[in-house]
Amino acid sequence: MTVRLIILNGGSSSGKTAIVRALQEVLDEPWLGFSVDDFVDALPAKLEGSPDGIVIGSDGEVSVGPAFRALEAGWTAGIVAMCRAGGRVIMDDVFLGGPSSQQRWWNAIGDLETLWVGVHCDPAIAAQRELARGDRPPGMAEGQALIVHQGIRYDLEVDTSHTDSIDCARTIAAYLKA
């Protein structure tokens, strides 16, 4: 069986998006890149700041409601359907719910060959990146850096604290070829 889906899990500002772009460069076949941010950006405006949708606190804490979860289930099923139809997808996600976040993917994936990659980053370094980005509430990156990995099972883990995204991508690509 061939891997059709790569799921990168890490906190905000951990370097996942840069790894997705680097993977698209180093992998032999073309891969589509999607992120949880793409999903959040696609939500109706009325769900932003709504307990039914998504609320991002001033400290970066994220809470989601039932409408978010229902749409997320459709999004996840759509990503998996693309893979089953022959596409290759690299998904950049943030497992704020720990094992239940991973379980939602497993429920949708079934027998689809998937590579699970943990993207780690030192909380202080993630906080510096967050500050440089300027598009996240202060504290989000540091608050997510460790918690998103608790209870998650990975096939491979990389750390962007002192390793460039291209080198992380090469590590992932080598794993896929092995």
Q: Inter-axis angle of helices 99-109 and 66-84, to 10 degrees?
A: 40
Count structural domains, the chain.
1
| pLDDT for the residue numbered 62 | 92
CA–CA gap between residue 92 and residue 98 (Å, rounded): 15
Where residue 73 sits, what CATH number does that domain have?
Answer: 3.40.50.300
Give the separation between CA 70 and CA 130, rounded to whole angstroms: 29
The answer to whether 33 is a known ligand-binding residue is: no
pLDDT, tens digit, 9 for 90 and up, residues 109-132:
999 999 999 999 999 999 999 888
Measure the CA–CA gap between 131 and 12, rounded to whole angstroms: 11
Residues of the chain where predicted confidence (pLDDT) is lower than 70: 1
The pLDDT value given to residue 1: 59
Q: Give dist(CA 105, CA 127) in Å, integer.
A: 27
Active-site positions read 37
Pairwise CA distance, residues 122 & 141, whole Å = 10
Q: Tell whether residue 10 is among the known ligand binding residues.
A: yes
Q: pLDDT, tens digit, for every residue of 37-61?
A: 999 999 999 999 999 999 998 888 8
Distance CA 99, CA 81 (A): 22
The predicted structure's pLDDT at residue 88 = 98
Residue 16 in marked binding region? yes
Structure tokens at 7: 């799921």
Scanning the structure block, which residue is given the tokens 């889906």? 5
**Side chain identity at 128, as an amino acid letter?**
Q
Is 60 labelled a binding residue?
Answer: no
User: Which 8-state DSSP code applies to residue 118?
Assistant: E
No. of helices (H) and no. of strands (E), the chain: 7, 7
97 known member of a binding site: no
Structural domain span for residue 60: 5-177
Pairing label, strands 5-9, 89-93: parallel
